[in-house]
Chain A
Amino acid sequence: MKSYQDVLNSCAEIFRTVFSDPNLLVSATTSASDIADWDSLAQIRLLMTMEQIFEIQFSLDEVEDLQNLGEIIELILTKVNQ
């Protein structure tokens, strides 16, 4: 069973890699408006890396309306703990 905190930690690491910023801090409320480089391209890379790290696959509709990192984590949790 992965906890919310486990997934948050892994996601934070993914964010730091994708945005190439070792000091980047993220939380559940972090959204695209908080990170200047978070464009559609970054979105692709974030989701792709998450799929690889957590060995899951997002479906088309699931990723359509994600508002912030908290929602992404919730989505990942439902998948990894199925």
Chain B
Amino acid sequence: MSSEQTEMIRLLWTSKDRATFMASVAGFEADVKSNEIIAECKIAILSGSTTSLVSRLLKLFLLNNGIKAEIFEGHFGNFFIDAMNPSAELVAFKPDIIYVHTSRVNLKSFGKVRDFRNNDSSDSLVTQEVSQAKAIWKSLNDRFDCWIIQNNIDLTPDSPLGNSEGTEAMGHNFVAREINQHLVDESKNFGQVLIHDINALSASIGLEEWWSPRDWIQYGLATSTISHPRLAFSLAAVVTSILGESKKCLVLDFDNTLWGGVIGEVGVNGIELGPDSSRGKAFLDFQLTIKDLVSRGVLIAGCTKNEKQTALSGLSHPNSILRPEDFAVIEASWDPKPVAIKRIIETLNIGSRSLVFVDDSKIEVHAVKTEFPEIESVVLDSKFPEKYSSMVLQPRYFESIKLTKEDISRKGTQASPRVKKLQSVSTYDHVQMLRDLNAVATIGRPSVDQLDRVTQLVNKTNQFNLNGIRRTPSEIKRLAQDIDSCLLIGEFKDDLTNYGVVTVIGGQFVGDYFRVDVWVMSCRTFDRYLEHAMILALRDEMSTRSIEVLNLEFKRTARNDYFVNSCAALGLFEKSISDGSCSVQVSNVTIADELPLKVVLR
């Protein structure tokens, strides 16, 4: 899905943007035209009111889901006759799906004066409407072997009786609810009838926006123009699920997605998850949403840059709703996420198109999108974890037409892998992806007002950390200002994000070597070759004093495995290094050729 198409979906959730959406329909149509087609279907729309708008938008959203739809529109308001006595054209069309596009404007009582003296007449009103619906379904069922989507009844924003509209037998809303309940009950007796819940949809949009007297009177639209995109979007989700093209697996990042904080940095006791803080509650809420998906049969997979043990410890946090056994697979490693996702696809033996990937990191999502454009990817903004649930639920990725026993019993590792041909996956080129992002590392000595950030970074970073030793602000200040010391900071940005100061290296010139006491990097910029850039910058500083030997004051901590691996890759020391000083000729350090970032020394 291109970025224009993601934008298209994003515009749907506020009314102001929906107006923009309506103006840009033609543009969106041009965008989705080139989408890969994975399924085709024929849909007949039987009209309760004007259908041209919903028809056009439905096509658009289906195409966005990779489905090419051919649409037949019945004559205005002719749904009953078209169903009971289908025209030759409709028969020849051979629909896969028939959509009965009715709403409250099609009730026999619509626009009529109510007879309040005769309260019992509401019963017969309900019976009449439900019988008519059943007759329609039966007739269509007899003539066509296809799915039927039936709108239920929306409520009215105008309430002459006020609250009594919902409580009195003759109330509009009372009658609508009665009919809706019966429609659901009766539809269960038909194998292929689905009730499209416009009652809930209109509530979610807001009835005053959903209904426009002007659009009704002028254009015969039973739903306001600006509500149409949401109506069509909802329908497209239902059609997509009928065709079996809904998503099946949610791939989840862990840190700042399932809980607040980076567990490798703050430890299991430091993560935000639980009722003690607002953020903790928000993450708990998101976990509940996911657990709900799991219990109705959506597969979930973990995809986290962490040591496996560290990742699992988060799921055994006492407040964690999600448990390791909820996951069909957990990929915890330091590999780029597209590589990890490829392994998830292989393990689950599932089509890549069935995945939805969510992560709070723009670069991870960018990397996955670059490699797997067919995977729906969602960037979560970790400043607002309270929005996570709706970001995953609103697009209705996991729509299912009817819950089956299999859905409910499918869970976690017991998932029976579907046999599906694996889409070929090219080799992921992480370096090229980074290069395309135009990353820039600006390295130099810190200004006075940057020292607070340096102290903070040194004292809260655990994974990329030389020795885990905490420093006071005055120690940092000395390192920055003493004549025989050197402290370098690296600021980092790329096309997606400006990260600010993310890495610090510092120490003392002692005799004929430079002793590194401090070296940390934020986990947000791991795998960006920033450690190479820092060594390059430090080498420059050392050469001005003709110093060639680096001496690292290393100490293994519970969490700095990542640091050890990174330095081993640089050839600074062996992975098996033990605590203490370790010396290396700076000319022997293995700096990657052609770093995928621009290094600016200031």
Most buried by B among A20, A44, A49, A60: A44
Given A40-B219, A60-B214, A60-B218, are A45 and B29 neighbors across the interface (CB < 8 Å)?
no
Say which residue of A20, A44, A49, A60 sits within 8 Å of B27 (CB atoms).
A20
Say which residue of A40, A49, A63 sits within 8 Å of B52 (CB atoms).
A40
Contact between chains at A19 and B26 (CB < 8 Å) = yes
Docked Cα-Cα span, A20 to B24, in Å, equals 8
Docked Cα-Cα span, A18 to B29, in Å, equals 11
Contact between chains at B218 and A20 (CB < 8 Å) = no
Contact between chains at B23 and A20 (CB < 8 Å) = no
Residue of A nearest to B53 (CB): A41
Docked Cα-Cα span, A19 to B29, in Å, equals 11
Docked Cα-Cα span, A52 to B22, in Å, equals 11
Q: Give the B interface residue count (CB, 8 A).
A: 19
Question: A10 near B: Cβ within 8 Å?
Answer: no
Contact between chains at A41 and B27 (CB < 8 Å) = no
Docked Cα-Cα span, A14 to B225, in Å, equals 17
Question: A75 near B: Cβ within 8 Å?
Answer: no
Contact between chains at A18 and B218 (CB < 8 Å) = no
Contact between chains at B56 and A52 (CB < 8 Å) = no
Per DSSP, are chain B's interface residues mostly helix, strand or loop, or mixed?
helix
In the assembled complex, which residues on chain B have CB atoms less than 8 Å from the CB atom of A44? 53, 219, 225
Docked Cα-Cα span, A20 to B23, in Å, equals 10
Docked Cα-Cα span, A20 to B27, in Å, equals 6
In the assembled complex, which residues on chain A have CB atoms less than 8 Å from the CB atom of B542? none
Question: A48 near B: Cβ within 8 Å?
Answer: yes
Given A20-B29, A41-B56, are A48 and B23 neighbors across the interface (CB < 8 Å)?
yes
In the assembled complex, which residues on chain A have CB atoms less than 8 Å from the CB atom of B217? 60
Question: B41 near A: Cβ within 8 Å?
Answer: no
Given A41-B53, A44-B219, A63-B218, are A49 and B26 neighbors across the interface (CB < 8 Å)?
no
Residue of B nearest to A60 (CB): B218
In the assembled complex, which residues on chain B have CB atoms less than 8 Å from the CB atom of A40? 52, 219
Interface string of B1-29 (1 = CB under 8 A from A): 00000000000000000011011111101
Interface string of B437-460 (1 = CB under 8 A from A): 000000000000000000000000
The 3 closest A-B pairs by CB, nearest first: A20-B26, A49-B23, A52-B19
